[in-house]
A and B are shown apart, each in its own frame.
Chain A
Amino acid sequence: MSAPVRRRSASLRLRVALAAALASTVVVVLVGVLASVLLTREQTERLDRSLVPGSPAVLGSFASTRADLAVTLRGPDGTVRRVSGPELPLSPLGIPTSVDVDGVAYRIRTAPGPSPGALVTVGATEDDTRARVAERRRLVTGLGVVAVALAAALGWVFAGRAVRPLRRLTDRAATLDGAVEADVPPPTVRADGSRESEELAEALTAMLARLHAEQQRSTASLHAARDFAAAARHELRTPLTAMRTDLEVLQAHPDLPERDEVLADVLRAQARVEATLTALGQLAAGDLPDADGGDVVGVADLLRLAAEDARRAHPGLEVVVEEPAGAVRGSLEGLRMALANVVVNAVRHGGAGCVRLGAHAGEDGGVVLTVDDDGRGLPAAEREAVLGRFVRGSTAGAPGSGLGLALVAQQAARHDGQVHLEDAPGGGLRVSLAIGPDRAG
């Protein structure tokens, strides 16, 4: 499967250069337009100032010195006299006005003339002014273009420096091994030089660490599952071996005097297989994580249920149950199953005739469920080991799967707690199932 080919976006550097060019263009255009407007106005005002009416004589001599000047006199009677240049039209008194005379643009101004009632109109062609303005505009435009180009170029150069940490980060990330090795600590990605690149590097490092942790978790659980499956197969083969041998004996010796004894052995081996399968199922279910953290379980209710279970499963057993206050958050069925396993353990392997179910507050603020029995107890050296899967104590009686206390330990772990084995106050064994303080409630 190949990734779809995606068109690459423009590089950050090019984008910065373009942004610089665009920004400078806006500035240049604004400045240019403003300059052009101001320039035009200034030039026009200057022209307007030159259109100062004076005496016709003065005007005539003045006009004769400048070819672009035109002067027209109008008498009170409406006579028109051209002093110089073409005849200019009338314009409102005192206000400079642009007009077109025979295809030539003039700026004219009309003022009262030398004699009463007479009007004098002075005009000057705007060609020179416009040419000057146009020339300045070209200059401004040229400077603007240069400025924009310079901005783009500088943007390119400085952006190159600015994206260097990012470039380094990209190079580092590219050299990271795609496969995260479980036994190698995840690499730390560094890209100093800008806050963004540093943040990105930190995020990348954190992501690698998360990946690594996840990988380690799944590798560990895979190993655990594999070991567990091997141990389970091994565990089932032992009773099956006994069973097969017994069945072959029955087959080969139909009139065996010890027939009943052999049959009893077959049934016992069968019970072992069944017990192991049940415990394996419970272990597998207990390995599933609690999504919701469990229900609130009253400790007294839990102990009462466990006592009922114990009396039902072991009719000859004396069960004493305390009525402690308090509640825990967790799985009622899980805890009940754990307590049932402790009781089975006490009866089957400890030879207990009486169990006492109780609970008290733990030192860490949690709740400790206790099951005391009056059985044989367990050598202190084995008390840790028997919590492991498929481990039996040296005093254990058959049948036993070696999973009973492992199930209890699993439930304790599921409730953020642990199992502790010690001597019971009245002899025998005390199994304490501590539930973590976070679960008390």
Chain B
Amino acid sequence: MTEPSPDLLVVDDDADVRASLERGLRLSGFAVRSAQDGPGALRAVHERVPDAVVLDLGLPGMDGVAVVSALRAMDHDVPVCVLSARDTVDDRVVGLEAGADDYMVKPFALTELVARLRALLRRGARSAAESTVGPALGEVLTTGPLRLDLARRTVHVGERSVDLTKREYELLVVLARNAEVVLTRERLLEMVWGYDFATDTNVVDVFVGYLRRKLEADGTPRLVHTVRGVGFVLREGG
């Protein structure tokens, strides 16, 4: 049985990087289109929505963050992996905050990028399949003041509604389903991102950081706790 090659969109302003990635990803079994700037990327998405996007953050004019924001604003929830040529943490995470799913710092290993893209694509297909069935109506997860309505995909802390990106929401759901259970980073990578292989990334920590910031915005006591050396756990109180 031959599946059709997943359709990838590679966005980078550097012609050499674009050419290399196009070739490398094509040889890894993807159908690759490319764009050299933000408007070009949005045009390509408008033509045909790709299965995943590999997006350079440092685009001239409309930068990668703006592209991610625009994609999410248009309700495209394709997996987006951003590429950053800067190594400061702030720059790493801005794309994720706007709704990207993962990031890699240039120069990266092509095999790593391929593995993550495949995992994100599998994961995306599965959650799409799940969402057609949908959770049982009225299924609600609560931990302390936190309330997740899985049917409506809404999150409340007390009376306050919390707006989460797709990946933040999925991470919170996994943590809430396993409330009081400590989950390792590896387990979370597998459950939320579908990364069932060893990979060197702190993307879990970054997303936990986002969750905390949003959940604790009005001074709510910490819900997502770090268990030093082990991982993370959702529970009320220390």
Which residues does A use to contact B, with CB under 8 Å? 230, 233-234, 237-246, 248-249, 252-253, 256, 258, 262, 265, 268-269, 272, 398-399
Q: Which residues of B are found within 8 Å of A233, using beta-carbon distances?
A: 85-87
Residues of A near B109 (CB, < 8 A) are 244, 248
Taking a contact as CB atoms under 8 Å apart, the answer to whether A244 and B86 are in contact is no
If over half of A's interface residues share one DSSP class (helix, strand or loop), that class is named, otherwise mixed; here it is helix
B16→A269 contact, CB < 8 A: yes
Q: Which stretch from B17-25, B64-72, B169-177, B198-206 is at the chain A interface?
A: B17-25
Which residue of the partner chain, among A240, A249, A399, contacts B24 with CB atoms under 8 Å?
A249
Q: Is B110 an interface residue (CB 8 A)?
A: yes
Is the beta-carbon distance between A245 and B86 smaller than 8 angstroms? no
Q: Among A238, A248, A253, A256, which residue has its beta carbon within 8 angstroms of that of B14?
A: A238
Which 9 residue pairs of A and B lie closest in terms of their CB atoms, listed nearest first? A245-B20, A241-B107, A242-B16, A242-B20, A248-B110, A240-B107, A241-B106, A237-B106, A237-B85
Chain B, Cβ-Cβ closest to A261: B23
Q: Told that A241-B83, A241-B107, A244-B107 touch, could you supply 5 new A-B pairs with CB distance under 8 A?
A: A239-B16, A241-B20, A242-B19, A248-B110, A249-B24
B205 CB to nearest chain A CB (Å): 23
Q: Are A265 and B107 in contact (CB under 8 A)?
A: no
Question: Which residues on the B side are within 8 Å of A262 (C-beta)?
Answer: 23
Q: Which residues of B contact A230 (CB under 8 A)?
A: 86, 88
User: Are A258 and B23 in touch, CB under 8 angstroms?
Assistant: yes
List the A side residues contacting B111 at CB < 8 Å. 248, 252
Task: Determine if B27 is an interface residue (Cβ-Cβ < 8 Å).
Answer: yes
The answer to whether A265 touches B27 (Cβ under 8 A) is no
**Does B15 lie at the interface of the complex (its beta carbon under 8 Å from any beta carbon of A)?**
yes
Chain B residues with CB under 8 Å of A258's CB are 23
The reply to whether A240 and B27 form a contact with Cβ atoms under 8 Å apart is: no
Contact B27 A238 (CB under 8 A): no
CA distance A242 to B28 in the complex (A): 16
B58 in the interface, Cβ–Cβ < 8 Å?
A: yes
A248 touches B24 (CB 8 A): yes
User: When A248-B24, A252-B27 are in contact, do A398 and B106 touch as well, CB less than 8 Å?
Assistant: no
Cα of A253 to Cα of B107 in the assembled complex, Å: 20
* Complex interface: chain A residues within 8 A of B105 (CB): 237
User: Min CB distance, A313 to chain B, in Å?
Assistant: 22
Cβ contacts A to B, 5 pairs, < 8 Å: A239-B16, A241-B106, A249-B20, A256-B27, A265-B19
Q: Are B85 and A245 in contact (CB under 8 A)?
A: no
B111 to chain A, nearest CB (A): 6
Is B197 located at the chain interface by the 8 A CB criterion? no
A274 to chain B, nearest CB (A): 14
> Which of chain A's residues have a CB closer than 8 A to the CB of B21?
242, 245
Cβ–Cβ contact A238 & B24, under 8 A = no
Whether A241 and B17, one on each chain, are in contact in the complex, defined by CB atoms closer than 8 angstroms, is yes
Q: How far is the CA of A233 from the CA of B88 in the complex (A)?
A: 11
Question: Which residues of the partner chain B approach A239 to less than 8 Å between Cβ atoms?
Answer: 16
Which residue in A252, A253, A265 is a CB contact (below 8 Å) of B20? Answer: A265
Complex CA gap A246/B21 in Å reads 8
**Which of B17, B23, B107, B108 is the one whose CB lies under 8 Å from A249?**
B23
Residues in A neighbouring B58, C-beta threshold 8 A: 234
